Chains A and B, each alone.
Chain A
Amino acid sequence: MTIIGIDILTFLIAAPAVGAVALLMLPSQMKGLVRFAALGISIVIAAISIVVFFAYNSMNTGAYGMVVDLPWFELIGVGWHLGIDGISAAMVLLTGILTPLAILVSFEIDDRVNMHMALILFFATGSFGVFAAMDLMIFFLFYELTLVPMYFIINQWGSVDGREYASKKFFIYSLGGSLGMLLAIQLIGWSVSTVPAEIVATLSETTPALLSYVAGSPSFDIGVITALWPALTTQIGGVFLGVDIQTVKTLAFLGFFIAFCIKVPVWPFHTWLPDAHSEAPTAGSMLLAGVMLKLGAYGFLRLVIPFFPDVWVGEIDILGAIQTNFATIFAVLAMLGVVLGAYSAFGQTDIKRLVAYSSVNHMGFVAMGLAVAALAYGQAYMTGSSVHIQDAILATNGAVLQMFNHGLSSAGMFLLAGGIYHKTHTRDMTQYGGFWVKAPILGGIFIFTSMASLGLPGLNGFVSEFLIVRGAWSVFTSLTVISMLGLLFTGGYILKGIRAVLHGPFNMHWKDHKLEIDLRELVAIAPLMALMLITGIAPNWILSVINASVSLMMGIPVQA
Chain B
Amino acid sequence: MVETVSFPVLSLLIFIPIIAAVIILFLPREQKDLIKGIAVTAAFAVFVLGLFTFISYNNNHEMIRAAQDAIIAEGGESSATRMYDETLVFEERVVWVEALGITYHLGIDGLSAPMVLLTGMVTVTGVLMSWRIEDRTREFMAFFLLLVSGVFGVFVANDLFVLFFFYELAIFPMYLLIATWGWVKLREYAAMKLTLYILIGSVVALVGAIAMVLQANTFFVNDGAQIFANAVESGILPANSSELSFSITQLTLAAENGAFNLPFVGDISFANVWFPFIFLGFAVLAGVFPFHNWSPDGHVAAPTAVSMIHAGVLMKVGAYAALRVGIQLMPEGAHTHLPWIVFLTLINVVYGAFIAFRQRDFKYVIGFSSVSHMGLVSMGFATMNLVGMTGAGLQMFSHGAMTALFFGCVGMVYDRAHTRDIPSLGGFIKIMPWVGVAFIIGGLASMGMPGLSGFVAEFPIFQGMWEASPTTVLQIGSFSLTNYYAILVIIAALAIVITAAYVLRVTGQVFFGEFDRAKYPDVDDITLRERFILVFLGAPLILLGIYPSLIAPMLETGLRPVLALLGVAT
Contact = CB atoms under 8 A, between A and B. Distances in A.
Contacts of A191: 466
Contacts of B494: 179
Contact of A74 (B463, B489, B504, B553): B553
Contact of A183 (B390, B444, B460, B489): B489
A189 B444 CA distance: 24
Chain B interface size, as a band, is 35 or more
A179 B496 contact: yes
Contacts of A59: none
Contacts of A186: 459, 462-463, 466, 489
Contacts of A72: 547-549
Nearest to A164: B508
B455 interface: yes
B482 to A, nearest CB: 6
- From A140, A179, A190, A243, residue with most partner B Cβ within 10 Å: A190
Nearest to B494: A179
19 contacts: A75-B390, A140-B450, A141-B451, A144-B449, A144-B451, A164-B508, A175-B447, A175-B497, A176-B500, A179-B493, A179-B496, A186-B459, A186-B462, A186-B466, A189-B463, A190-B387, A191-B466, A242-B469, A242-B482
B548 A241 contact: no
A325 B460 CA distance: 34
A172 B456 contact: no
A144 B451 CA distance: 9
A190 B469 CA distance: 11
Interface in B438-455: 444, 447, 449-451, 455
A495 interface: no
Contacts of B470: 241-242
B462 A145 contact: no
A74 B549 contact: yes
- From A156, A218, A241, residue with most partner B Cβ within 10 Å: A241
Given A140-B450, A145-B450, A243 B483 contact: yes
B501 A145 contact: no
A186 B388 CA distance: 12
B490 interface: yes
A71 B549 contact: yes
Interface in A57-114: 71-76
Contacts of A164: 508
Contact of A241 (B449, B483, B549): B483
The 7 closest A-B CB pairs, nearest first, are A242-B483, A141-B450, A73-B548, A144-B450, A190-B466, A176-B497, A186-B463
B387 A75 contact: yes
A137 interface: yes
B483 A183 contact: no
B69 to A, nearest CB: 15
A241 B497 contact: no
A76 B549 CA distance: 11
A171 B387 contact: no
Interface in B212-228: none
A170 to B, nearest CB: 11
Summarize B's interface: helix, strand, loop or mixed: helix
A297 B548 CA distance: 29
A144 B447 CA distance: 11
Nearest to B386: A75
Given A74-B549, A141-B455, A175-B500, A218 B449 contact: no
Contacts of A141: 450-451, 455
A130 to B, nearest CB: 11
A172 B455 contact: no
B61 to A, nearest CB: 13
A142 interface: yes
A190 B460 CA distance: 10
A148 interface: yes
B556 interface: yes
Interface string A166-201: 001001100110010011001101110100000000
Interface in A271-328: none
Contact of B556 (A75, A179, A190): A75
Given A171-B504, A183-B490, A187-B466, A75 B460 contact: yes
A241 B387 contact: no
A427 B541 CA distance: 42
A76 B483 contact: no
B459 A76 contact: yes
A218 B547 CA distance: 19
B467 interface: yes
Contacts of A179: 493-494, 496-497
A172 B504 CA distance: 9
Contact of B387 (A76, A140, A182, A183): A76
Given A179-B497, A241-B486, A75 B552 contact: yes
Given A72-B547, A76-B463, A189-B463, 4 more contacts: A75-B552, A148-B444, A155-B512, A164-B508
A146 to B, nearest CB: 10
A69 to B, nearest CB: 15
- From A75, A141, A164, A193, residue with most partner B Cβ within 10 Å: A75
Contacts of B447: 175
Nearest to B513: A164
B451 A183 contact: no
A221 to B, nearest CB: 15
Contacts of B547: 72
B242 to A, nearest CB: 40
A325 B490 CA distance: 26
